[in-house]
Amino acid sequence: MPTTTVPARSEIPVEHTWDLANIYPTPADWEAKLAEVRARLPLSRQFQGRLGEGPEVLAAWLAHFQDLLQDTQRLVMYASLDYSTDTSHQVAAARTAQATTLAATVQAAVSFAEPELMGIGFDVLRAWQQTHPPLAIYAHYFDNLERMSAHVRSAEVEELLGQVEDPFRTAANTHGILTNSEIPFAPAHASDASQTFEVTHGALGALLSSSDREVRRTAWESYADGHLAYKNTLANALAAGVKQDVFRARARRYASSLEAALTPPNISTTIFHNLIETFRRNLPTWHRYWRLRRQVLGVQTLYEYDIKAPLTKDKIEVSYPQAVTWICEGMAPLGKEYVDVLRGGALEERWVDIYPNKGKRLGAFSYGGPGTHPFIMMSYNDDIFSLSTLAHELGHSLHSYYSWRTQPIIYGRYTLFAAEVASNFNQALVRDHLLRTQSDRAFQIAVIEEAMSNFHRYFLIMPTLARFELEVHERTERGEALTATVLNDLMADLFAEGYGADLVMDRARTGSTWAQFSTHLYSNFYVYQYATGIAGANALAQGVLAGKEGAVERYLEFLHAGGSRYPLDALQRAGVDLTTPAPVDAAFAVLADYVDRLETLLL
């Protein structure tokens, strides 16, 4: 019986992999830089107790701090990128462990600075900033520090909090190691038993989009069952991660883990609760889509493994070069420079690690830092879904490219709240381009199917995970236990609302969804921002596509701003106000319009 397998990392042509030499030419160079940064750490202590001596000393400290931050970020970046593409590579795993330990050590070494700056007084800091030009760029940094001052502890406590970050990564790392490299998945098989398919993180998306229902069912069940087999270990890891969030929140005098997550980017908890309320109010749009799917597929019962089943028999294949061409055409409204940078990164400069291989991490991401180009990891499968994923990650990458080019290191990183706008903006523009230029009925259906799949992740799965996250944190804050049974039952109950009566749920397997996210749920209240991001993106994209005066310029200004503004402020300047539920309602209207289009095309 023939089997479709995923190649080993060593079998992937080098031109299809990313170019880590852009960070360090060789692993030996990485080792040398690691030793150099370790040797520089005592220099940080020479500034302790001296920041109040005057603006010259403060400027010297901030320059030292930024250099140390950039070098540490690059060390972590090189190690984690190398490990991400082959999680069975033990040398890469060791480098990653060294880098994360260094990052925690650096955090502890610089922890004295913010309490000391607060001790100087913000009136003095602003006076120095106005009279000493090298400090002028730090106006937003000082404002943010003042805003956060109630949650910054003494130098001794800050150092201790920095020291616990390395051991606190153990829970997330355990979850990631188990799910990315050690859980075995049974192969999927075709309905006629003529072929089997290896189930991996990178191959799962293509298997769940198969026209063969048995391939979809066996792949979906294999993936869920693999995680269920280790549910108790994974639940223990997640419970530890949630307890760590609660500890951090209490150590920094926040009322809750939610407040601790939303206060640093200056986002009100009201925005989180508005999102959840608006999401629940719009669930009938999803229920309508499930009914349409069941009708078009001609099945008596719609199951979760049917969510990505193709709605036509025509398979639309999209090669990687063709995807880049269409993405560039779709992004043309942003101008020649944007398109040229995007095309060069995707085709010439090896920003992208393109295809699946054994041991490759789940999902896709964009990563990098000042002094490097962006890096994109994905598992391209020659379809519309992969095209859209590439557009999404290139949105992140161009956001980073412009931020790093424009902002000092201290503002080079932007929040996820802003990041998910840039990525979804690209997808919105590319979908619009494809729907306007590709008139073939099957192609139109494929584009809308991809859009619905993306909205399914961002506007169903992520808000549901956000509700789950809120509940498990609140239970932990009340001293309640989190077991695999508790987590699975809660997850299944929440998904039951989203699926309604038209999609039959497998409670045990659906309940394991939390276990299938090895990163997201270990970043305190991370996932809700996917939903706010797609809402903001579609609002801004509609302005650009409508030719609204100044829309392109305001959007590019948003990309250049990086972390120099609070994300809500940056987005309001770009043209969308996410403090109200209106953009979320409007994004659900976009979703409903896609359902309308499908009904016209299919019924």
**Is 197 within the bounds of a domain?**
no
CATH code of residue 90: 1.20.140.70
Is 393 one of the catalytic residues?
Answer: yes
Write the DSSP symbol of residue 303: B
Give the full edge-to-edge strand order of the sheet including 365-367.
Answer: 352-353, 375-377, 365-367
Q: Mean pLDDT, to the nearest integer, of 421-430?
A: 98
Q: Mean pLDDT, to the nearest integer, of 497-508?
A: 95
- Position 267, amino acid: I
Phi, psi of 375 (to 5 degrees): -125, 135
**Is 468 within the bounds of a domain?**
no
Measured CA distances, 442 to 61, 196, 387, 437 (Å): 60, 27, 16, 13
**Is 428 within the bounds of a domain?**
no
Query: CB under 8 Å, gap of 24 or more: what pairs does 41-50 form?
Result: 41/68, 41/105, 41/106, 41/109, 44/68, 44/109, 44/110, 45/109, 47/113, 48/112, 48/116, 48/155, 49/112, 49/116
What is 479-534 written as a DSSP string?
T----HHHHHHHHHHHHHHHHTTSSB--HHHHGGGGGG-TTGGGSTT-THHHHHHH
Does the pLDDT value for residue 2 go beyond 60? no
Among 278, 304, 204, 243, smallest CA distance to 466 is for: 278
**Is 257 within the bounds of a domain?**
no
pLDDT at 4: 61
Does the pLDDT value for residue 252 go beyond 80? yes
Q: Mean pLDDT, to the nearest integer, of 431-448?
A: 96
Q: Cα–Cα distance between 404 and 397 in angstroms, integer?
A: 10
pLDDT in tens, 374-410: 999 999 999 999 999 999 999 999 999 999 999 999 9
Does the pLDDT value for residue 308 go beyond 60? yes
**Is 55 within the bounds of a domain?**
yes
Q: Which of 304, 393, 449, 450 is catalytic?
A: 393
pLDDT in tens, 56-73: 999 999 999 999 999 999
Among 205, 556, 539, smallest CA distance to 389 is for: 205
**Is 102 within the bounds of a domain?**
yes
Band the pLDDT of 584: cuts 50, 70, 90: very high
Split into its structural domains, the chain has a count of: 1
40-44, 374-378, 485-489, 490-494: least confident range: 40-44
pLDDT in tens, 5-40: 789 999 999 999 999 999 999 999 999 999 999 999
Q: Cα–Cα distance between 214 and 284 in angstroms, integer?
A: 29
Does the pLDDT value for residue 164 go beyond 80? yes
End-to-end Cα separation, the chain, in angstroms: 38
pLDDT in tens, 318-336: 999 999 999 999 999 999 9
**Is 585 within the bounds of a domain?**
no
Q: Cα–Cα distance between 302 and 319 in angstroms, integer?
A: 31
Among 530, 532, 525, 534, smallest CA distance to 468 is for: 525
Contact 286, 498 (CB under 8 A): yes
Does the pLDDT value for residue 490 go beyond 50? yes
Q: Chain-wide mean pLDDT for the chain?
A: 95
**Is 376 within the bounds of a domain?**
no
Domain that holds residue 92: 19-166
Q: Cα–Cα distance between 127 and 543 in angstroms, integer?
A: 41
